[in-house]
Structure 1
Amino acid sequence: MTRQPRIRPGLITVALTLVLVAGCTGSADDDSVTVQPGAPGEPGRVLTDPPTQPHDDAYTDVDVHFLHVMIYHHEQALRMVELVDDRADRAEINLLAARIGRSQEDELALMADWLAVRGEPHEGDHPDVGGMPGMLSEADFAELAEATGATFDQRFLELMIHHHEGALIMVADLREVGGAQEPALAEFTTHLDVDQRIEIDRMRSLLSDLD
């Protein structure tokens, strides 16, 4: 595994991915062949050799750390979602929370699998998250747990927007220090960035409706 020689102080480093890209396979006369999908509207082509998969040495310590910390970040979002059912006033908040919960759980599974496949298992111990952007304090959780109705709806949206914005900062910081170069991780972080922005826009719209 390639080692990252030095990480610039002050940047959040973290790591994640799992998007194994494989060609479709078929058989002809009992001989296995690999078919590479073509562009939209174009046929695929048969390859003589299997498509190249990302090499284990394509990722760095920065990527691994990113994934460990992003797992903790996602787990905190699920803690927030768990508070919604008994406290939210508007059905839209429940629907939003359910969507966030599903996407975060799916991404947690992807991150854990990425680490396991590469021999970098996530042991469940929380890493040093000091200064991680978007994280809620226990006081924030206590405040949210005590709120109900419209007050809860507003505070949930404000805190989840803050939390999502933190994830965007973490992805940007990872890329700034040269992380997420492995194809699978690059694809995952791109998906994460796009998905979080969509949810932020939706939450801002809901928040404006509360005024």
Structure 2
Amino acid sequence: MAGKPFVIFVLGPPASGKGTLCKRLAEDHNLYHLSAGDYLRYLINGPLAGQPDIVDAVRYGGTRGLVRGDVIVSLLIEKIKEEMSKGESAFLLDGFPRNLEQDKAFRERMRSDFDIDTPDLTISISCPKEVARARYLNRKRGDDSEDLFNKRYSDYQERDTQVVELYRKGLIEVTADGSLSIGQSYLEMVKTLSGEGAWTNLTSAAQN
């Protein structure tokens, strides 16, 4: 494994379109889309199924704070290293970090393991609660319910927004509301990214 990873945090409330936007951005610009929630769910149904403390914490809290920051960070960084060994170099961390503890633990590990400050970019997707609720309930995924949505949205407002404020100065903000389709939100995101030096350096290097 050579080089150092380029890391983009992607933040936003549940059902704001993070996953869809990240998937498209990854496909169009040769990035690795690493959804923290999806990856944890994969682990507890496979490689970590025999570790009940992590399994229970993920099932009942996921990335929203019940799993210790250092545990999540260790799992994500090992995944980044695994993918770097296969040639990946730029990562979209979808739905991470969810709180300041996770942010601090991740940055400390990145300095320790790669000698870099991270993230390179932070994207925040804003979406009104009513629009997010409608999308959440319409997708009919697993145990999705209005009560669970309300809890997740409250968690976002209480914890995730602290991370948004931490990166406010250099934040790339994307609006996903009722007047914009996901496609329009994507175009807005790419347009905003094109004005960021770190992004243009990344995409230029990928084309050479």
Q: Which has the larger radius of gyration?
A: 1
TM tier, shorter chain? under 0.3
Report the TM-score, using the length of structure 1 for normalisation.
0.27
Provide TM-score, normalisation by structure 2.
0.28
Select the structure that is richer in strand.
2
